[in-house]
Structure 1
């Protein structure tokens, strides 16, 4: 089989921040050619979930996303903190963003948002048995509205291209397959 992996010869950090870091790698391709400046965005890993309540409703969150300049309808989730397991991060994020606790978590997929320029991955879960146990506990710059949808409504939102976040669409499609809802 043909070798495809590049070797990193050196890395230089251009910017280091809490949410994004930019580095420039000097790489050697398998055939010996050198790539002088390959820019890589380093992000923390993320987690999200298709969160089903005890009433079989899917919890979605609506919030403003500044980089795109849109109000986005999404599934709940967020950043995995250093040293945190994905399932632990998900339980924390679900509780903070929605006020719901979930008894059953199942990892559906692990995907990369853009493996050509970013190094992080997203763990997509199906969370079942959700019950509201508290009010939201949002971060300083978070403002989101929790909404409930039937499975049929979510399928229609996807069909109508009303969910713009690609990683969340991915999680929704995996969950709908798992639930036997895609025909």
Structure 2
């Protein structure tokens, strides 16, 4: 143990709240006595990423526009976990995968749960491995979504990551950890 102690929160107020995010301003005192005020905390619902492999060893990935970056990105299928998912990453992952890609899978497995940014975010990102991915229907987009599905050979994924083709850092972590769990990469 390091002996590090938590900050003491003396006050907290929500400064923004909508269906996607709550922003909280905390007044804190660090163990050193330093006052940290305000410290902004971003309260998001948990997210889920799906690393989906077809039987012929290809990844089912999405290409879509990301407004904050102003760019089109290659990403994993996934999204926000809904209350209807019952807090189950596998249920959420299967739902998001079907909605975004029109694909299903023979098997879904939970791989890992990580924190995207524990300094400011309250949520977790859950990685689900889908094996035996195959087309099962049509895509069903949320408002503003437009997604092109791409099948990427697993043999190409490390090169694509190194070349910066996959920009989202939590997607890179999910890809590497799920492919390791599937026995497709080692490190």
TM-score of Structure 1 vs Structure 2, range by shorter chain: over 0.9
Q: TM-score, normalised by structure 2?
A: 0.91
Q: Give the CA deviation at 1:32.
A: 4.1
Q: What count of residue pairs does the alignment treat as equivalent? A: 183
Gaps of 5+ in 2: none
**Distance in 2 separating the partners of 1:47 and 1:17:** 20
Gaps of 5+ in 1: none
Q: Give the CA deviation at 1:55.
A: 2.5
Q: Say what the alpha-carbon RMSD is for the aligned residues.
A: 1.5
Match of 1:106 among 106, 109, 118: 109
Matched, 1:149 2:152: yes
Match of 2:162 among 159, 162, 172: 159
**Distance in 2 separating the partners of 1:87 and 1:2:** 36
Q: TM-score, normalised by structure 1?
A: 0.93
**Distance in 2 separating the partners of 1:167 and 1:151:** 18
Indicate conservation of the 8 Å contact 2:176/2:185, yes or no.
Answer: no
2:58 aligns with: 57
1:4 aligns with: 5
1:181 aligns with: 185
Q: Give the CA deviation at 1:133.
A: 1.0
Which of 70-79 and 15-24 deviates more?
15-24
Q: Give the CA deviation at 1:94.
A: 0.5
Q: Give the CA deviation at 1:36.
A: 2.3
